Amino acid sequence: MKAAAFRSFGGPEVLEIVDLPDPHAGPGHVRIAVRAAGINASDWKKRQGLMDQVLPQTMGYEAAGIVDEVGDGVTDVNVGDRVFGFTTDGAAQAELAVLSFFAPIPASLDFAGAAALPSAVETAVRTLDQLGVVENSTVLINGASGSVGSAAVQFAVARGAQVIGTASPANHEYLRGLGAWPVAYGEGFVERVRTLASSGVDVALDVAGSGVLPELVDLTGGANRVITVADIDGALKYGVRFSRGDSGRAIHALAEVGPLIESGRFSLSVGQTFSLVDVIEAHRVGEAGRVRGKLVLLVE
């Protein structure tokens, strides 16, 4: 099969499309003919050698496609079904991928839309669970207009929480459409939040990593009420929890998002799509950070 990989660390130019042996579905897993694979910031961190030092490496942890092989013990999925989910071997950006965790693709979604979901919805639900966001909670989401941030907004709203989301003014109307109260970054940020939430902020989620953890601790009343997924140095400095997927994933999010999508209460935009063979350009666009919405590779 064809797959994206790299044999040395560096910029996007180290990526190449290589031939690899076809993988097979083990117990509890399914293999899919990949139709689309999501791209995340962790992909270029991995490519730059910031995550581990093993070489060579393949790319991608989330994909959507058509089941073509079912492992022992799998009873709720059949060959030919459309599914999306995670692969634990980091080789989703390929013609074939083995999914360890998966769910049916909502009927209204195409493959690109489904491939955009796994990482964003899992991260959003995991952190909201860890923060204890429930009905009538007031939650502040720093970096609310990106893929993870907007997913967190929508899941929090679906739980009945009041949501304040930070974003640039250009994204404020978008956040209002998701059900959040938008607030601008920058000087006066704390005062603007307090004006919106006169009864206080219960918990805060930092998705942007923009150096505002002290302000989030101040607004919520304690470091134990704040979680970041983007600022590991700040988390250590201010005693804030840094949430990682490897410490326990919220896999239930994959099943939960489908009904929300079909009822019109959740959407996640695909910012741009690329062919698998154009993975180098996809990384360049992603690292430049100028596209709102998820970047997705299409496999034909």
pLDDT for 288 equals 87
**10 Å Cβ neighbour count for 9?**
14
- Please write the tens of the pLDDT for every residue from 244-271: 876 678 999 999 999 999 999 999 999 9
Q: Are residues 105 and 125 in the same domain?
A: no
- Please write the tens of the pLDDT for every residue from 189-238: 999 999 999 889 999 999 998 899 999 999 999 999 999 999 999 999 99
Going through the chain in order, the beta strands assigned E by DSSP cover 2-6, 15-19, 30-39, 57-58, 62-70, 82-86, 96-99, 101-104, 138-142, 162-166, 181-183, 203-206, 226-228, 241-242, 270-275, 294-298
pLDDT for 52 equals 84
Residue 215 in domain: yes
Domain count, the chain: 2
Residue 253 in domain: no
Specify whether the CB–CB gap between 297 and 37 falls below 8 A: yes
Q: Are residues 151 and 215 in the same domain?
A: yes
CATH of residue 175: 3.90.180.10
Half-sphere CA count of 75, side-chain side, radius 13 A:
1
Residue 259 in domain: no
Q: How many residues does the chain have?
A: 300
Least confident of 4-18, 63-77, 166-180, 243-257: 243-257
Rounded to whole angstroms, the Cα distance separating 281 from 300 reads: 17
Rounded to whole angstroms, the Cα distance separating 35 from 17 reads: 16
Residue range of the domain that includes 215:
120-246
Q: What value does the mean pLDDT take over residues 98-115?
A: 97
Contacts of 124 (CB under 8 A, 6+ apart): 148, 151, 152, 154, 155, 253
pLDDT for 247 equals 65
DSSP state of 94: B
Specify whether the CB–CB gap between 193 and 164 falls below 8 A: yes
Residue 29 in domain: yes
